[in-house]
């Protein structure tokens, strides 16, 4: 979705009658609208464009980004309906358990660079004969174990936030989906990793809460989604608003921002690369696989 919006916006921008707007800005507007439409998250769409596509806080672009994001959000609501995509009906009250969000943010901050390294680990598989066929076979076999391996992870996320599955079920699905995602990325399968990253963070948070026998493990699924996305994308503001808009848990926004800044700081100390740097090959490395949702970054650069 993001790649499609960026590509169309870039193509239109080349023939735009308004040459005063740089092409990179026009691509950012398209990406903001795509995020808002795909995830029903207009505020996160604005910060996605600012933190990831533009790579800097250009506050003078805020009105145009907001306009584009709201346009995408309203168009999505018109055809798909409104409401959070993964609503959490439970209401979390302030308690000392909230302090466990700090070690969770640190752990997932450490896990962010490891996650990226894992995604890179099979990049040589793209040179295999019929690489996409092999990836399809792997995903097909894994789907016999858990059907939720199919798709980008939205059904698995919905299962976490609506049915609160047992820890063993979530753990096994997390491992299987990580294997499938790594295989698909390594072989160059077009599909993106944004939603799989959301699922990985939510699953890790739920497992964290289950291991510690906390009274509200679902709270830590929301926190895990947010802090892991922040660690992987290096976009703490976007990640906080994304978690709040996806789940409807707006009262957790201050906690999410604190956790995101912490996980982002830890991840940056280990690696300066974000998730979207994976799609930008180094001068001496042409084997890094193409990822659909990451294609925005090279267009802007």
Q: Specify the pTM.
A: 0.85
CA 249 to chain centre: 18
The domains of the chain, with CATH numbers, are 2-80 (no CATH), 96-295 (1.10.3080.10)
Task: Give DSSP secondary structure letters for 148-183.
Answer: GGSSSSHHHHHHHHHH---HHHHHHHHHHHHHHHHH
Cα–Cα distance measured from residue 103 to residue 34, given in angstroms and rounded to the nearest whole number: 33
Nearest to 1 by CA among 137, 190, 284: 190
Spell out the per-residue pLDDT of the chain, length 301, in tens.
666 776 777 767 677 666 667 777 888 888 899 999 999 999 999 999 989 888 766 777 788 899 999 999 998 888 877 778 888 887 787 788 899 999 999 999 999 999 998 988 887 777 778 888 888 888 899 888 888 888 777 888 888 887 767 788 888 899 999 998 888 888 877 667 889 999 999 999 999 999 998 888 899 999 999 999 999 999 999 999 999 999 999 999 999 999 999 999 999 999 888 887 544 444 334 333 333 343 333 333 3
């Amino acid at each position: 979705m993001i790649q499609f919006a960026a590509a169309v916006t870039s193509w239109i921008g080349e023939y735009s009658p308004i040459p005063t707007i740089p092409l990179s800005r026009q691509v950012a507007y398209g990406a903001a609208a795509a995020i808002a439409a795909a995830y029903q998250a207009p505020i996160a769409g604005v910060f996605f464009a600012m933190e990831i596509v533009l790579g800097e806080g250009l506050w003078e672009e805020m009105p145009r980004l907001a306009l584009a994001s709201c346009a995408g959000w309203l168009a999505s609501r018109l055809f798909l309906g409104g409401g959070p995509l993964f609503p959490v009906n439970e209401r979390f009250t302030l308690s000392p358990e909230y302090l466990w969000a700090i070690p969770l943010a640190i752990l997932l901050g450490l896990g962010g660079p490891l996650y990226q390294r894992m995604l890179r680990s099979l990049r040589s598989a793209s040179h295999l004969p019929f690489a996409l066929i092999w990836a399809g076979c792997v995903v097909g076999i894994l789907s016999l174990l858990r059907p939720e391996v199919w798709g980008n992870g939205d059904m698995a996320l919905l299962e976490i936030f609506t049915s609160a599955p047992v820890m063993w079920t979530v753990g096994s699905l997390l491992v299987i989906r990580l294997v499938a995602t790594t295989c698909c990325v390594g072989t160059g399968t077009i599909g993106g990793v944004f939603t799989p990253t959301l699922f990985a963070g939510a699953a890790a948070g739920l497992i964290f809460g289950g291991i510690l026998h906390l009274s509200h493990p679902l709270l830590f699924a929301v926190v895990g989604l947010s802090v892991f996305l922040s660690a992987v994308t290096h976009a703490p503001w976007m990640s906080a608003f994304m978690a709040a808009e996806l789940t409807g848990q707006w009262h957790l926004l201050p906690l999410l921002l604190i956790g995101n800044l912490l996980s982002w700081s830890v991840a940056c100390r280990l690696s300066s690369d974000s998730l979207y740097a994976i799609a930008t090959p180094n001068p001496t490395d042409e084997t890094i696989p193409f990822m659909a949702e990451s294609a925005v970054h090279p267009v802007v650069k």
